[in-house]
Amino acid sequence: MSKKYRVAVVGATGAVGEVMRSTLAHRGFPVSELVALASARSAGLELEFGDGCVECQELTPDSFEGVDIALFSAGADISRTFAPIARDAGCVVIDNSSAWRMDPEVPLIVPEVNPDAARDHRGIIANPNCSTIQMVVVLKPLHDETRITRVVVSTYQAVSGTGTEAISELVRQSDELLEGMTPQVEVYPHQIAFNCLPHIDVFLEDGSTKEEQKMVDETKKIMGDDTIEVTATCVRVPVENGHSEAVNVQFAGEMPPARARELLASAPGVIVLDDPSLGMYPMPVIASGTDPVYVGRIRRDPTIPHGLNLWVVADNLRKGAALNAVQIAELLVERQLVRVPR
């Protein structure tokens, strides 16, 4: 009988934690026991897992005894505190927060892009930012064919990336505006309904946001190429779920659109939807609730040498977070890397 693993989900009641639970069950991950962990106020809640339920437990320093793999989705502060505790208890941590992504001793992994990085883990593996994940899944097969020199990306990010409170705020504000009321602002600094906010995470000294800097730094680390120039503008839009990206790519040599479509059509985890004459292109309503990264609007950029424009869409809660984390866990199992080096 194949080995099964005791798996913990930290932040099990949140938007990403919920999808982590469902993804583990849907993909048949070999779970012997699921340990659902959250704050004290969630302790005792019955949470769905597969055909049954598990009782949520309070996250404490003793939560990881006997746990093999822990999927963290509770934020950077929680991860900084509890990921080392889990690792020291003999658990391999796959962390969805920003806490460990740029640590040189922590692999930052997208299984379709850099699976071999898992060999070097020391008990903590970082799950990249949602917007970075979907972009590099598309860039990798193109970069392998003809080296990418520069990427300009503008994102259109759904409110689910902020959490369930943001989804509720979008719905509530939309109702308030349609009823002629002044929308109440709580989650975001300005109204999000019928609006776009070029402001995700905090602003840095150079005028960019932390979200934009994440895309720059993480792309280079995941792709394993610091020579790729990356610039990003990240925007929150009034879409419930599913991030979209307009990606402009410059290559060192020729990359005809037809060849790009051919490469992407055979790339793992990618679906090409690219026939504008039939109104066929990726949209959040298509991607939401599904696993692939969708790409379309593949066309030349005639203003630069060897340039392409792409439109990339994915479910940010699935491939952008929970699914990628579970795929990392599957990678660890497949390569027999579910162990903490001593």
Architecture of domain 5-128+321-334 in CATH?
Answer: 3-Layer(aba) Sandwich (3.40)
- What's the pLDDT score for residue 341? 73
d(CA 47, CA 21): 9
Helices (H), the chain: 15-26, 76-88, 130-145, 164-178, 210-223, 257-265, 284-287, 323-334
- What's the pLDDT score for residue 340? 77
Q: Which of 91, 121, 143, 243 is catalytic?
A: 243
**What is the secondary structure of 106-119 as a DSSP string?**
S-B--TTT-GGGGG
* pLDDT in 10s for each residue of the chain, 342 residues: 489 999 999 999 999 999 999 999 999 999 999 999 999 999 999 999 999 999 999 999 999 999 999 999 999 999 999 999 999 999 999 999 999 999 999 999 999 999 999 999 999 999 999 999 999 999 999 999 999 999 999 999 999 999 999 999 999 999 999 999 999 999 999 999 999 999 999 999 999 999 999 999 999 999 999 999 999 999 999 999 999 999 999 999 999 999 999 999 999 999 999 999 999 999 999 999 999 999 999 999 999 999 999 999 999 999 999 999 999 999 999 999 998 776
Rg (alpha carbons) of the chain, rounded to whole number: 20
Q: Whose structure tokens read 């006997």?
A: 66
Taking domain 132-316, whether its CATH number is 3.30.9.10 is answered by no
- What's the pLDDT score for residue 303? 98
- What's the pLDDT score for residue 342? 64
Neighbour tally for 251: CB within 10 Å: 20
Cβ atoms 37, 59 nearer than 8 A? yes
d(CA 286, CA 289): 8
For the record, the structure tokens of 58 come out as 């309070």
Q: Which of 56, 91, 130, 234 is catalytic?
A: 130
Of residues 223, 219, 243, 311, the one with CA closest to residue 272: 311
Domain spans of the chain?
Answer: 5-128+321-334, 132-316
Please list the residues that pair with 108 across neighbouring strands. 126
For the record, the structure tokens of 194 come out as 């019928």
Q: Is 90 left (phi over 0), alpha (psi -120 to 50) or beta?
A: left
How far, in whole angstroms, is CA 56 from its chain's centroid? Answer: 24
d(CA 294, CA 281): 8
- What's the pLDDT score for residue 1? 42
Please list the residues that pair with 244 across neighbouring strands. 156, 313
For the record, the structure tokens of 3 come out as 């080995």
Q: Is 234 a catalytic residue?
A: no
d(CA 218, CA 90): 27
Helix (H, G, I), strand (E, B) or coil at 16: helix
The pTM for the full model equals 0.96
How many CA atoms lie less than 13 Å away from 207 in the CB half-sphere?
A: 2
Q: Is 130 a catalytic residue?
A: yes
Q: Whose structure tokens read 């009988």?
A: 1
Sign of the four-CA dihedral 29, 35, 40, 41: positive
Cα–Cα distances (Å) from 122 to 85, 311, 316, in that order, read 13, 36, 27
Count Cβ atoms within 10 A of the Cβ of residue 145 and give its class: 0-12 exposed, 13-18 middle, 19 or more buried. middle
How many CA atoms lie less than 13 Å away from 303 in the CB half-sphere?
A: 3
Please list the residues that pair with 248 across neighbouring strands. 152, 309
Helices (H), 124-244: 130-145, 164-178, 210-223
